[in-house]
């Protein structure tokens, strides 16, 4: 993920509204998310199709249309392009709603006062992109993470750092967070500071090229293709893998079963799935639970 990370107050923006048919809704979400992470909103239509509102620097609207065509996403009708209205900042904020998952409130800074009293809060600045916590793939990991025994964690593809911040608040540790994108690593560092989380080892590291730091629980919310390539590199006793379309679970499970993992659990949400796996190889490392948390 990189490209356009938009925030309130940015000058010279256009609002591009596109419609896609039901069978292209998930592909469109993936493609628009890659083009403009954190800079779009999505509404489901009655017929199962989707309407996306994408905020872009003026001039990028044609690039978005050709990007979607290149990703095999045809538009239903013409894109509607408007100069961003004066209340842009408020509209943009309306896209970023908090969620409650795994016993945590996860949301943007301007909503923090509305978090339920006494609930731990993970505050993520959506202007930086890389995952706010509200996406179904992240919510799936957060829900599953809360149910795991407290142990050390490796957050592969940490993005905004939402999973590392949540893991720390839930009592996991030590935590290592890696991403191959230096901007994501910066974003993780910023969000950990914002949340008062200390002691997370945050590094630029390509999980497909470099050795993976050791941990008891690996969290990896990345898409199918890198997950398949990571399978032979994994050695952690437990994995929580997400970013899978429901139709991709079998292929991903098979790749991990081929190297000695077994699927413990699967969870689905809004067309997405996450799986929890255990290392069943005879020489598998034993899980080191934290004595106190
Ligand atoms: C969908 S985002 C997930 C962000 C966050 N963990 C979450 O759950 O919201 C996937 C992240 O994986 C990172 N990523 C993709 N391939 C990677 C690789 N080979 N090594 C490390 N990070 C990678 C991307 O840069 C991106 O930040």
Residue 231 beta carbon below 6 angstroms from any ligand 1 atom: no
What's residue 244's pLDDT? Answer: 93
User: Are 131 and 190 found together in one domain?
Assistant: yes
Mutate to test the pocket of ligand 1, among 157, 223, 229, 231 (most ligand atoms within 8 A of CB): 157
The C-alpha atoms of residue 168 and residue 35 are separated, in whole angstroms, by 30
List Cβ<8 Å contacts ≥24 apart for 106-114. 106/132, 106/133, 106/134, 106/142, 106/162, 106/166, 107/133, 108/132, 109/194
Residue 159, ligand 1, Cβ within 6 A: yes
19 in Cβ contact with 11 (< 8 Å): no
Assess whether 125 and 36 both reside in one domain: no
Ligand 1, atom 15, residue with closest C-alpha: 157
The domain that holds 233 is classified in CATH as 3.40.50.150
Question: From ligand 1's centre to the CA of 176, what distance in Å?
Answer: 14
Mark whether 62 and 72 lie in a shared domain: yes
* Structural tokens at position 280: 């069943």
Average pLDDT across the chain, whole number: 88
Instruction: Tell whether the model's pLDDT for residue 86 goes beyond 80.
Output: no
250-291 pLDDT, tens digit per residue, is: 999 999 999 999 999 999 998 899 999 999 999 998 888 765
For the chain, how many structural domains are there in total? 2
Question: How remote is the CA of residue 228 from the centroid of ligand 1, in Å?
Answer: 14
> Are residues 46 and 149 located together in one domain of the fold?
no
Mean pLDDT score, 170-186: 94
pLDDT at 200 exceeding the cut of 70: yes
Lowest mean pLDDT segment, chosen from 39-53, 187-201, 275-289: 39-53
Higher pLDDT, 250 or 223: 250
Mutate-to-test residue for ligand 1 from 162, 176, 217, 222, highest number of ligand atoms within 8 A of CB: 222
Question: Residue 29: CB within 6 Å of ligand 1?
Answer: no
Q: What is the CATH number of the domain that holds 38?
A: 3.30.70.1710
218 lines ligand 1 (CB under 6 A): no
Question: Is 90 exceeded by the pLDDT of residue 194?
Answer: yes
Locate tokens 């890198």: which residue? 226
Nearest to 258 by CA among 246, 247, 250, 266: 250
58 — pLDDT class (breaks 50, 70, 90): confident
Boundary (domain end) residue, out of 66, 94, 122: 94
Percent of the chain with pLDDT over 90: 64
Quickly state the pLDDT bin for 116 (edges 50, 70, 90).
very high
- φ, ψ of residue 150 in degrees (nearest 5): -70, 125
State the residue range of the domain holding 152: 96-279
pLDDT at 228 > cutoff 60: yes
pTM above 0.85, yes or no: no
Is 7 a residue whose pLDDT tops 60?
no
């Amino acid at each position: 993920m990189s490209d356009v990370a938009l925030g309130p107050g940015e000058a010279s923006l256009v609002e591009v509204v596109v419609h896609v048919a039901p069978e292209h809704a998930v592909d469109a979400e993936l493609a628009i998310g890659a083009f403009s992470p954190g800079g779009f909103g999505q509404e489901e239509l009655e017929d199962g199709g989707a309407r996306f509102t994408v905020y872009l620097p003026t001039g990028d609207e044609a690039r978005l249309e050709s990007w979607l065509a290149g990703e095999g996403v045809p538009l239903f009708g013409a894109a509607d392009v408007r100069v961003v209205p004066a209340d842009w900042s408020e509209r943009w904020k309306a896209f970023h709603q908090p969620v409650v998952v795994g016993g945590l409130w996860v949301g943007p800074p301007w909503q923090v006062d509305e978090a339920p009293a006494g609930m731990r809060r993970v505050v993520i600045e959506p202007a930086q992109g890389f995952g706010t916590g509200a996406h179904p793939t992240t919510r799936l990991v957060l829900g599953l993470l809360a149910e795991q025994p407290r142990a050390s964690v490796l957050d592969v593809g940490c993005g905004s750092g939402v999973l590392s911040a949540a893991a720390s608040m839930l009592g996991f540790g030590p935590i290592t967070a890696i991403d191959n994108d230096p901007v994501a690593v910066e974003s993780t560092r910023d969000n950990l500071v914002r949340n008062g989380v200390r002691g997370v080892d945050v590094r630029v590291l390509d999980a497909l090229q470099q050795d993976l730091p050791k941990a008891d629980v690996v969290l990896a919310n990345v898409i199918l293709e890198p997950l398949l390539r990571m399978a032979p590199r994994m050695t952690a006793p437990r994995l929580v893998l997400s970013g899978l379309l429901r139709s991709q679970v079998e292929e991903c499970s098979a790749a991990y079963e081929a190297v000695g993992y077994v699927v413990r659990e699967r969870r689905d949400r809004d067309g997405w799935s996450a799986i929890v796996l255990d290392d069943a190889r005879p020489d598998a490392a034993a899980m080191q639970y934290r004595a106190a948390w």
